[in-house]
Amino acid sequence: MVKLGDVQHLTADVLIIGGGVAGMMAAVGALRAGVTPALLTKGTYASGSSSMARGGHSVAIGHSSADDNPDLFFEDTLRGGFGLNNQRLAQLMCTESIDRTLELDDWGLGLAKLPDGRYDQKMGAFPHRHARLVHCGRLMGKPLMNALSKKTKGDGVAPLDHVMIVDLLKHEGRVVGAWGFRYREGTPVVVHARSTVLTTGGAPQLHALNDSPPTITGDGYAMAWRAGAELIDMEFIDYQMITAAPAKMAGYPPHSSGFLNEGGYLLNKDGERFMKRYDPELMERSTRSLLNRAVAMEIFAGRGTANNAVCIDIRHVFEEANHGASGDIIKTFMNGGVDMSREFLEVTSCPHTYLGGLRIDEWGRTTVSGLYAGGEAAGGIHGANRLGGAALIDSYVFGYRAGVAAALEAGTQAAVTADMGGWRAGVEALEQWSQRGDGESPGAWRDAVQRLVVESVGQVRRADRLQHAMHQLDQLEARFSGIGVTGETLRARFDCLRLSLETRNLIQVARQLATAALMREESRGGHFRLDFPERDDAKFLANIVLWNEDGQVRGELRPVPGLEAAEAPPGLPAVAVAA
């Protein structure tokens, strides 16, 4: 049972919520600006979707192609984003990713180098014009997380693990921290802070089949929306292929982009290279959004396999593909019963990264005072489609910038006190929730939400399906009060409660997604409408911005931001954006 007297109460100048790459880079930024942040994470530090990083990240450092530079990378990024990128954010990502890359390698990332010491860079898919992908010669997730974890802990960051943040705290229109609970012990946690940074990732758990850790459940989108922050581009999801069969490998991220970049084919159940229907010029080297839309359309049209999948065939380029990160994946599939030198790999399409998120400026400031965001929690950088290798550099650059700004601007904010934010009402609600008994299974409730999203708000969208989803989401959300909290141990009960609160967040994110998808009556990048299959620049060359109006999702079209710079934080040190 939860008691108010059991609350773990912390105070900090800067609170960072999320322990993935963006959160750790925010910590580096705050430290460099003179503040040691409090950092809370739902998983075990370091954690998050970046732990699943495969091939590497893109950077226009020009080592493998002397003609490359950040300006060309910026042009390619805008082309890939179908005109909807916040140009200032995209420009900074393409420029500052060089310094962030050099720092990370200094901290032990271990990027592969050529004999002369330059980085080995691989060619990515269209619209990359130059080889930009730096890599570790193996899967990147583990060395990246290890390097950043060692760096931040060595600099004095003491993360608090296994904390489910339930809501942000607000006082007189400003975010002043957050509250939640340690779900392994059932201890309420309240953190008051002058500045709060959300680096909570996306919402991949809206789909049962995804390639991210199970704790990434859209919490930041939902909490920020409830707190009054605006969101942008929520209709756009970066889909990626994921293993569909055999059953024991289902859900495993297959590094499909690596196989296709090496010359692999995409085949439907009839053995047809179906990309000729969607992009006859580039075929399997098309944009990520069009590749995944094609996969979804083939399955939707009944040309998928018995496992609702398509096939990747690398038999003709097996020797070329069997090295580096792709070689590691091939070995994993061999151990799982798939010999890619002789057999097809069955894949389907699932959410990889969310392109929308909190609307930020170049310093990670959201539209609510005291609240910042970086990484996948923030939106606007990639527009309607993300270039390969750009998810990590987004987190490097804007996680870091958000940490710098949050620390520098914390000193301009009034002091926070232990009574601010109305947290006691939240903890009292937590006490009541924790005492629930039998009821509907939280797992069954989550399954119902995921089925609805896949069927009605998935890759192939239509007005009637989206409207049906909106109605059903209201009914699903109303079931929260009847969800059971059961278990033999305190940990089991609070795990049960965590799952329920996550699902409530997912429902709110699904409503944001459906609202924006219904508003965008065209097809562009990672958003496809069966009833509006063409791109319509005359009406929709604009961003959709959402906000909370009396508990309802409201939205409007707004002009795409240009290259105008935001005001820099006070006392910005020269070291803030340079290695």
pLDDT digits (tens, 9 = 90+) for 368-386: 999 999 999 999 999 999 9
Q: How many CB atoms neighbour CB 559 within 10 A?
A: 8
Reported as a pLDDT band with limits 50, 70 and 90, residue 327 is: confident
Strand-pair partners of 250: none
Reported as a pLDDT band with limits 50, 70 and 90, residue 23 is: very high
pLDDT of 452-480, one tens digit each? 998 999 889 999 999 999 999 999 999 99
Reported as a pLDDT band with limits 50, 70 and 90, residue 575 is: low
Q: What is d(CA 58, CA 70) in angstroms, rounded to the nearest whole number?
A: 11
CA distances from 559 to 89, 540, 556, 563 (A): 15, 10, 10, 13
CA distances from 54 to 23, 352, 414 (A): 19, 12, 43
Residue 255: what pLDDT? 77
Residue 206: what pLDDT? 95
Reported as a pLDDT band with limits 50, 70 and 90, residue 2 is: low
pLDDT of 56-99, one tens digit each? 999 999 999 899 999 999 999 999 999 999 999 999 999 999 99
Residue 231: what pLDDT? 98
pLDDT at 249 > cutoff 60: yes
4 or 252, greater pLDDT: 252
User: Buried (b) or exposed (e) across 522-558, using 16+ Cβ within 10 A?
Assistant: bbbbbbbbeebeeeeeeebbebbbbbbeeeebebeee
Q: What is d(CA 272, CA 399) in angstroms, rounded to the nearest whole number?
A: 43
Under DSSP, is residue 17 helix (H, G, I), strand (E, B) or coil? strand
Q: Number of C-alpha atoms within 13 angstroms, CB side, residue 420?
A: 21
Residue 577: what pLDDT? 67
Mean pLDDT over 315-333 rounds to: 88
Pairing of strands 57-58, 121-123: unpaired
pLDDT of 183-235, one tens digit each? 999 999 999 999 999 999 999 999 988 888 899 999 999 999 999 999 999 99
CA distances from 563 to 80, 86, 175, 328, 566 (A): 17, 8, 28, 41, 10
pLDDT of 384-400, one tens digit each? 999 989 999 999 999 99
Q: What is the dihedral of CA 465, 470, 476, 477, to 10 degrees?
A: 160
Pairing of strands 552-558, 371-373: unpaired
CB 216 within 8 A of CB 533: no
Residue type, 382: H
**Residue for token pair 């859900």:** 251
Residue 252: what pLDDT? 84
Reported as a pLDDT band with limits 50, 70 and 90, residue 144 is: very high
Residue 254: what pLDDT? 81
pLDDT at 5 > cutoff 70: no
